[in-house]
Structure 1
Amino acid sequence: MTFDQFWSWQAAADLLPELLTAFVKVTLLVTVVGTIVAVVLGLSLALITQVTPSVIARPVRWVMDVIRMTPLIVQLVFASFLVPVDWNLLWVGTVVIGVHYSTYMAESFIAGIGSVDRGQWEASRALSLPQARTWRAIVLPQAMRATLPSLGNWTISMFKDTPYLFAISVLEMVTVAQQAGNNTFRYNEAFTIAGLIFLVASLVTALAVRRLEKALVY
């Protein structure tokens, strides 16, 4: 087998715009919106488990465990069966991915809250600070700094899980690469480019999280 049979620079150049378009319109969009959903919902779940009575916190914990213990692809298919047929499955999938990852981010937030020194809590009580202000001004800022690295890791994992959207007929980047390979028989180029786009996006995300982490520390 010659190199030209294995790899064609012209085919790669022809496929790049199509794959980049799929990345921006689906993969990146789902990851950004899904991360926002996951962070907001994850923080809410963490606070519910920490400040509410056990009669509320315990069922919430059970629901979180069920979501974490079932495969994302099953949740996507199940959700697609539940919604009306005229709903946009891209947004359905985005919400499902966001909810799925919110349970992992909630655990990260819980760990971050647990890392706050007990002296901080005692000092706030000694100063008679309201509980809401204690959480807002003392606990959550420190918990966010401790949680940020793991949140970045979950965001990168979300990037890599977007191909599961093929199960509900959403044409994300890997599915587009598969179709391009079927049409041109240039599978090597299609999947290599898709893999490189994932790699670059993950590296950029990791670097951004590290810079944000340093900015919060200093």
Structure 2
Amino acid sequence: MNDSIWDWERAWDVLPDLLRGLVVTIEATVVGMVIAAVLGLFIALAMRAPSRWVRLPLKFVVDFIRMTPLLVQLVFVYLLSPPEVPALAIGFAVLGVHYATYMSEVYRAGIEAVPPGQWEAATALNMARARTWRAVIMPQAIRNTLPGLGNYAISMFKETPFLFAIGIVEMYTEAQSYGANTFSYIEPLTMVGLLFLVISYPTSLLVRRMEIRLA
């Protein structure tokens, strides 16, 4: 490749900064996924409540979050939060809540995929409703949702660059900072893309393999 376009020295020079940003990126993805997975399950269960006073307001909130951009949500929550709240904590929370609304649909589909015979068998055995959910329904439902949760984990990982909007220095911000200081953007941005690919692609293969096995 033409040295005037690509400089390997600059590429290796920016790599430590990008790896430091990668740690923040992975941290945000992991914590955000934990929040999203737990909260999404609670949303899915709450949406099955018999009371419309529970379902309708919750559905409005879920639809509102889904229909507004993640970037706007990050900035809006950041501006409304007290100054003492760390930006990274805000990023964790917004990522988690945003993706929880999508994961709730994955959980809903997983629950509905449990054969009706499982419910009937639990009823025939006179199992308590709480125990039926805990011991029969949820293990099968979560097993069915694992591929979907994995796909959303990859999507969240790829959307962490939006955290730059609230001052969090992750991979993309590190690349932009390096480019602003050296007037060389090709190397850092290319390296960012490669790092995302190195992590996302094997994960997507794992999720695809999981889908095949569960099918």
TM-score > 0.5 by shorter chain: yes
- 1:111 deviates by 0.7
Task: Give the stretch that moved more between structures: 36-45 or 128-137.
Answer: 128-137
Which sections of structure 1, spanning at least 5 residues, go unmatched?
none
Contact map agreement 2:10 2:187 (CA 8 A) in 1:
yes
> Partner letter of residue 44 of structure 2?
A
- 1:94 deviates by 1.1
Aligned to 1:158: 156
Aligned to 1:64: 62
Report how many aligned residue pairs link the two structures: 215
- 1:206 deviates by 2.6
**Superposition pairs of residues 146-185 of structure 1, within 5 angstroms:** 146-185=144-183
**Superposition pairs of residues 33-52 of structure 1, within 5 angstroms:** 33-52=31-50
- Normalising by the residue count of structure 2, what TM-score does the alignment of the two structures yield? 0.93
Aligned to 2:13: 14
> Partner letter of residue 11 of structure 1?
R
Aligned to 2:79: 81
Please, which of 168, 184, 187 is the counterpart of residue 185 of structure 2? 187
After superposition, the CA RMSD in angstroms is 1.8
> Partner letter of residue 4 of structure 2?
Q
- Normalising by the residue count of structure 1, what TM-score does the alignment of the two structures yield? 0.92
Q: Equivalents in 1 of 2:6, 2:120: separation in Å?
A: 64
Contact map agreement 1:145 1:213 (CA 8 A) in 2:
no
- 1:71 deviates by 0.7
Contact map agreement 2:151 2:207 (CA 8 A) in 1:
no
Q: Equivalents in 2 of 1:78, 1:9: separation in Å?
A: 40
Which sections of structure 2, spanning at least 5 residues, go unmatched?
none
Q: Equivalents in 2 of 1:157, 1:134: separation in Å?
A: 33
> Partner letter of residue 16 of structure 2?
P
Identity of aligned residues (%): 52
